[in-house]
Amino acid sequence: MDVKDVIAKRFQQLCRERDIRPNELATLSGVTPSTVYSMLNPVRRNISVVTVKKLCDGLGITLGDFFNTPEFDALDQEIK
């Protein structure tokens, strides 16, 4: 699994925990629904840190809270 996939899964997890849909996450975060759906789309390869920060702000969590999971810690190094 790559970084983008782990980010998308983390947002899906947080939305399930809060019982909110992607459209609601977009509204809470001040981004368009297409931005959220694009981030969740497995074909999309790029996601900006600014977008991740806005989505975290909408969920009321810090970037540290978002990235502080075993899934992120287990990712392989990008530079080999």
- The pLDDT tens digits of the residues spanning 45-76 come to 688 999 999 999 999 999 999 999 999 999 98
pLDDT, mean over the chain? 93
pLDDT of residue 78: 80
State which fold the 3-72 domain adopts: 434 Repressor (Amino-terminal Domain) (1.10.260)
Phi, psi of 60, rounded to the nearest 5 degrees: 75, 30
Q: Domain ranges in the chain? A: 3-72
Q: Using an 8 Å Cβ cutoff, are 54 and 30 in contact?
A: yes
Query: Cα(first)–Cα(last) distance of the chain, in Å?
Result: 16
26 burial via Cβ count (<10 Å: 0-12, 13-18, 19+): buried
State if pTM tops 0.75: yes
pLDDT of residue 45: 67
